[in-house]
């Protein structure tokens, strides 16, 4: 089958080994490699056979790829075949590798360098050990940019050291550099001593039933009223109880419509039932928010040590949900990022002493508190009429009531004092 295997004088394998094939018949390439493993001690997995400049696959049959009696086949050990040319290890100006495959293989073969990378730069080490060359190239570019920024920063610091002490602009830059250095040191200290501060905080959710319908309730002690969305109220069969006299518009950077109130409905926490009232909003990004009014009414305790919500002074305890148990549409990072901070929504109450307020998400992309005020309630309009009868301008009466969250006595005092 194999009539001759070219070796050097010492009997050691050459990088290129010529093999003379006799009577190729219909054998597969992998059979030839098995015979060569015995002759050359090069394992089958490390062999690469070439015929007329073409790499032969293990599944190929010699007769089908044109190997004839007496033809020469070249066997290249894998170590030689995979040795990258010097030019293959060059880097582009953006920090990426000219030949990322050769670069990856070179680093993989250097055990000492891989050990250093695993210790000092695990993400780059994982990219080199991974299968995606695109990820490797992107990470190499990122590391190159970081080096450029660091070098530029060092050059600026060096220039400031020799700057004219009477140059006002230079002194401002030195002051900014000192301040930034303090910030960086504070950040490094936080990374070392308080790394959990950089993790995403999972909000507090518990399992509840509203009118017999199970849902995930967001527990928010910073919200003054309990809120339910129109869609959730409809799913729970409560929309028929909506009191539209409490309608309004929640106005902020964006706006949400206050549809009214549901004065009482049963909720089940654990194995016990409780009475609850809701403010209904047309807010698709918020389903059910268990606010401070019901937390106080039912003497709830947010126990973060045991990670439970205790209701009724402790007669019922329900665990806060883990992140994996919160539906994806609730914990979706992109959706949470698009929600503005909570603002205040005023809804008219049944008494004249003041209106209850609740925090609701405003549909906005900017930060800062958003003041949201109801201007369409029946009681609110009645209070405006009373102040107008006292001789005040209607617009001034409305502004005063908004300023004091609907308290007509304080608004009247403010107007008389003005």
Instruction: State the catalytic residues.
Output: 220
> Rounded distance, CA 233 to CA 258, Å?
13
Angle at the Cα of 224 from the Cα atoms of 221 and 226, rounded to 5 degrees: 85
């Amino acid at each position: 089958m194999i009539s001759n295997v070219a070796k050097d004088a010492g009997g050691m394998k050459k990088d290129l080994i010529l093999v003379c094939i006799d009577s190729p018949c219909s054998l597969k390439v992998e059979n030839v490699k098995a015979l060569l493993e015995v002759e050359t001690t090069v394992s089958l997995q490390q062999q690469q056979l070439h015929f007329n400049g073409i790499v032969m696959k293990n599944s190929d049959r010699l007769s089908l790829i044109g190997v004839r009696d007496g033809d020469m086949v070249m066997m290249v050990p894998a170590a030689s075949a995979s040795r990258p040319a010097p030019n293959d290890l060059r880097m582009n100006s953006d920090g990426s590798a000219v030949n990322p495959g050769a670069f990856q293989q070179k680093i993989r073969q250097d055990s000492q360098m891989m050990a250093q990378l695993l210790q000092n730069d695990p993400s780059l080490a994982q990219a080199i050990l991974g299968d995606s060359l695109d990820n490797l190239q992107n990470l190499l570019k990122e590391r190159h940019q970081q080096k450029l920024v660091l070098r530029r920063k060092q050059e600026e610091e060096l220039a400031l050291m020799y700057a004219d002490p009477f140059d006002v602009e230079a002194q401002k830059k030195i002051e900014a550099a000192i301040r930034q250095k303090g910030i960086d040191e504070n950040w490094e200290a936080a990374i070392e001593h308080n790394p959990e501060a950089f993790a995403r905080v999972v909000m507090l959710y518990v399992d509840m039933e509203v009118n017999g319908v199970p849902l995930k309730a967001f527990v928010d002690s910073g919200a003054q009223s309990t809120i339910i969305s129109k869609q959730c109220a409809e799913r729970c069969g409560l929309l028929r109880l909506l009191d539209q006299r409490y309608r309004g518009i929640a106005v902020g950077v964006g706006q949400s419509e206050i549809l009214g109130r549901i004065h009482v409905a049963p909720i089940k926490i654990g194995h016990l039932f409780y009475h609850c009232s809701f403010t209904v909003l047309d807010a698709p990004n918020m389903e059910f928010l268990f606010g401070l009014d019901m937390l106080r009414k039912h003497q709830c305790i947010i126990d973060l040590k045991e990670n439970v919500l205790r209701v009724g002074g402790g007669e019922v305890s329900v665990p806060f949900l883990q992140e994996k148990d919160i539906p994806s549409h609730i914990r979706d990072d992109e959706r949470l990022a698009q929600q503005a901070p909570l603002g205040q929504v005023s809804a008219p109450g049944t008494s004249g002493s003041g209106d209850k307020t609740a925090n609701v998400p405003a549909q906005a992309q900017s930060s800062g508190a958003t003041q949201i005020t109801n201007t369409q309630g029946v009681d609110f309009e009645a209070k405006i009429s009373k102040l107008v009868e006292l001789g005040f301008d209607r617009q001034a009466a409305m502004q005063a009531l908004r300023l004091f969250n609907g308290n007509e006595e304080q608004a009247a005092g403010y107007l008389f004092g003005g």
